[in-house]
């Protein structure tokens, strides 16, 4: 998928709270889906499961392995969304979480 990159390095993004964010890099990662925890590549995988913990996408395996730890710390409230049963993790990330925005923007306030 081609993303129309309107943000470019050197741009200053103004936030509603008055903060200014200066863009360093803009990377279009296309439709690659990689777990934020184990870096497992799920781009071509049909495996279902996983959740969004804060801003981190946990793959089906990491979700399974870490849920007890999350529960023991009473941190289930940080699970913002869960992959619907039967839907591949990769499709869920692309369609429901990123919604067509495949840009990774880094920078500084
Ligand atoms: Zn993982």
CA of 109 to the centre of ligand 1 (A): 30
Question: Which distant-in-sequence residues (6+ apart) come within 8 Å of 79 by Cβ?
Answer: 51, 52, 53, 70
pTM of structure: 0.81
57-91 pLDDT, tens digit each: 999 999 999 999 999 999 999 999 999 999 999 99
Cα separation values, 7 from 23, 39, 85, 98, 108, Å: 8, 26, 35, 16, 14
Q: What is residue 1's predicted lDDT score, i.e. its pLDDT?
A: 41
Near ion ligand 1, which residues have CB within 5 Å? Answer: 35, 37-38, 40, 59, 62
CA of 45 to the centre of ligand 1 (A): 12
């Amino acid at each position: 998928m081609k993303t129309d990159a309107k943000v470019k390095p050197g741009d200053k993004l103004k936030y509603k709270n008055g903060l200014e964010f200066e863009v360093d890099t803009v990377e279009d990662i296309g439709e690659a889906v990689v777990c934020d925890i184990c870096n497992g590549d799920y781009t071509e995988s049909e495996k279902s499961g996983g959740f969004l913990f804060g801003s981190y996408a946990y793959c089906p395996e990491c979700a399974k392995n870490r849920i007890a730890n999350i529960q023991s710390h009473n941190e289930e409230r940080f699970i913002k969304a869960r992959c619907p049963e039967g839907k591949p993790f990769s499709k869920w990330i692309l369609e429901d979480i990123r919604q067509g925005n495949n840009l990774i923007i880094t920078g500084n306030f």
